[in-house]
Amino acid sequence: MEGMNKYDISVKIASLKLKNPVIAASGTFGFGREYVDFIDLNRLGGISVKGLTLEPRQGNKPPRIAETPSGILNSVGLQNPGVHKFIKEEIPFLRNYKTALIVNVAGSTIDDYRKMAQILDAQDVDAIELNVSCPNVEKGCAAFGSTPSGVCEVTKAVKKYLAKPLIVKLTPNTLDITETAKAAEASGADAVSLINTLTGMAIDINTRRPVLANNYGGLSGPAVKPVALRMVHQASNAVDIPVIGMGGIMSGDDAVEFFLAGARAVMVGTANFVNPSACIDVITGINKYLERHNYKSIDDIIGKLHAT
Amino acid sequence: MPKVLNERITGIKWLKNSICKMTVKSGYISKYAYPGQFVNVKCADDTGIILRRPISICNVDKDKNEFDIVFMLKGKGTRLLSRKKRGDFLDFIGPLGNGFTISARNKKVLIAGGGIGTFPLLFLLKELPHSENSCCIGFRSCDNAVLVDELSECSNDLILCTDDGSLGKKGFVTYDAEQVIKLQKPNIIYACGPHEMMKEISRLANLYGVKCQVSLEQRMGCGIGACLVCACKIRTTDKNGWKYSHVCKDGPVFLSDEVIFE
């Protein structure tokens, strides 16, 4: 905990106040339970839970993972217990901890998203993250997120029913990230988070089959970091709402790159799979950077990139 | 409770050209691990290989506070892992997973192992209470056959076979296992091996009405139940009839009659 109080690393994402800018990314942190053997969840800025759908989903056939250079491809396909079971079993557990609870929601239709927003706005959660970017499901989701009009349609539909802060999670699998970011902002998003995974593929040359049973999957990990940084930089220049950056963050130094590029908070994803205390290590690393460079607060580095 | 540990490697021994045994000093693992559990190992630092590799615990020496893992070189990760030297530190998470359930009530035991699936069975054999046990193990060929003497020492009756007949009998473990089931009528079967073998052992267990625990394998990500990639089909009583459970956290050991093999 050394240095924890010396620097102000709290941030605000719309009305959501985070004690520090490090959030465990959706789909990599379960519902927090899986990590209590390894870390104190109270130390996290927030947790974005595994993507939820209205009804339970079994997910895709295995194999669901392939390792690729400096990254992984996954095709889990939103396996989750459904929003109702989440409310009953997971919210009470997560509320034992003093960390922001962000609920990631996904759907096949606009109506799914609208219903989920209605249900969750009445629950004891801190923010909604709209998943319009999962590449591993047949219907909906990334189909909405890949175009500005799709983002606009879903965001508007849920915003009507939400008093809680709305974060729209954007996909990199789109023509121009600034257009989808602007569409989210114009439709009422309080923040955007990016990037979700890049669609990819791995092939087993001995069996001549794709490694993933689903053929394609979402690429994450250090391999995507340069793409993520570029998109976070572009998006934060294009919109006034806060940008939450993610993509291959493994250390505090990686996170600092995202802050400099304009992110107000970061999400740590794939790193959790390798190092269960990755989020804590990232928080420590951010503090060390601030100390090393004599900065007083995280605001001293957010968007402070010297770019020409 | 699993922990992230960084412990010293006290021995490395090549059992065959591509099969390596690594001995690691760890009071924590030797105290808390039980048969069928695994450790998730970081193969190297700062490389393009980011995932850990799940490797079953092959043996535990409680007196020396050591445990062994045995692994076959399959790709970049295991190759990097095999380059570690005695005295180096090994970064791993463990003990992980639900292993075999052992009961003193099972007086007659059949153990069936195939290929790399035989490795965790040594730990199991050593932990079995006094019982009459038969052990059927198989390998592709003599080039892959390891730990045969160790397994033999712990079992009353060891039947060894290879696919090509280069060592022991020619044929598959499942044939010998069926003979043992018919003749000795075991109370329980413990099995670990390739998918097709597990499927056949489960069919035999069902056919002859013997309880059976199988240790499954699937490509894993985190090893701690968070990433949900290592899915396996498990029977349910609801209208759907099945659900995806996860090998790392719900398993790797399941009752054979709850697993749906495809």
pLDDT (tens digit per residue) in B132-143? 899 999 999 999
pLDDT (tens digit per residue) in A136-177? 777 777 788 999 999 999 999 999 999 999 999 999 999 999
d(CA A171, CA A180): 9
Please count the other Cβ atoms lying within 10 Å of the Cβ belonging to residue B52.
22
pLDDT (tens digit per residue) in B161-211? 999 999 999 999 999 999 999 999 999 999 999 999 999 999 999 999 999
Report the CATH number that the domain containing residue B113 is assigned in CATH: 3.40.50.80
Question: Is A243 a domain residue?
Answer: yes
Question: Is A215 a domain residue?
Answer: no
In the predicted structure, residue B85 carries a pLDDT above the cut 70: yes
| Cβ-contact A267, A215 below 8 angstroms | no
DSSP-assigned letter for residue A1: -
- Mean pLDDT computed over every residue of chain A: 95
**Do B164 and B223 belong to one domain?**
yes
ipTM of the complex: 0.93
Residues in chain A within 8 Å Cβ distance of B252: none
Report the CATH number that the domain containing residue A230 is assigned in CATH: 3.20.20.70
Question: Is B102 a domain residue?
Answer: no
Average pLDDT score over residue span A99-119: 95
Domain region containing A55 = 11-59+78-198+220-300
pLDDT for position A2: 45
Residues in chain A within 8 Å Cβ distance of B91: none
Question: Is A273 a domain residue?
Answer: yes
Domain region containing B16 = 3-96
**Do B122 and B246 belong to one domain?**
yes
Question: pLDDT category, B46, cuts 50, 70, 90?
Answer: confident
**Do B142 and B242 belong to one domain?**
yes
Type of residue at B207: L
In the predicted structure, residue A307 carries a pLDDT above the cut 90: no
**Do B112 and B75 belong to one domain?**
no
CB-closest option in A61, A71, A272 to B226? A272
| Residues of A annotated as part of the active site | 134
**Do B61 and B131 belong to one domain?**
no
Q: What is the side-by-side order of every strand in the sheet holding A216-220?
A: A65-68, A71-74, A216-220, A198-201
Domains in chain A: how many in total? 1
Radius of gyration of chain A (CA): 18
**Do B12 and B138 belong to one domain?**
no
Please count the other Cβ atoms lying within 10 Å of the Cβ belonging to residue B255.
15
Report the CATH number that the domain containing residue B25 is assigned in CATH: 2.40.30.10
- Mean pLDDT computed over every residue of chain B: 95
Question: Is B103 a domain residue?
Answer: no
Question: Is B55 a domain residue?
Answer: yes
pLDDT for position B53: 96
In the predicted structure, residue A4 carries a pLDDT above the cut 60: no
pLDDT (tens digit per residue) in B1-44? 999 999 999 999 999 999 999 999 999 999 999 999 999 999 98
Nearest alpha carbon to residue A284 among A29, A44, A24 = A44
Instruction: Among B61, B96, B131, identify where a domain stops.
Output: B96
Question: Is A64 a domain residue?
Answer: no
Question: Is A207 a domain residue?
Answer: no
In the predicted structure, residue A272 carries a pLDDT above the cut 60: yes
End-to-end CA distance of chain B: 32
Question: Is B101 a domain residue?
Answer: no
**Do B81 and B37 belong to one domain?**
yes
pLDDT for position A143: 80
Average pLDDT score over residue span A25-43: 97
The model carries a pTM of 0.94
**Do B28 and B115 belong to one domain?**
no
pLDDT (tens digit per residue) in A240-253? 999 999 999 999 99
B54 to chain A: closest CA residue: A274
In the predicted structure, residue A1 carries a pLDDT above the cut 50: no
**Do B88 and B121 belong to one domain?**
no
pLDDT for position B10: 97
Q: Which residues contact A188 (CB under 8 A, 6 or more apart)?
A: A155, A156, A159, A166
Instruction: Among B34, B63, B96, identify where a domain stops.
Output: B96
pLDDT for position A5: 55
pLDDT (tens digit per residue) in B148-169? 999 999 999 999 999 999 999 9
**Do B84 and B114 belong to one domain?**
no
Average pLDDT score over residue span A104-125: 95
Question: Is B127 a domain residue?
Answer: yes
A264 shares contact with chain B (CB less than 8 Å): no
CB-closest option in A62, A79, A276 to B218? A62
**Do B121 and B179 belong to one domain?**
yes
**Do B196 and B91 belong to one domain?**
no
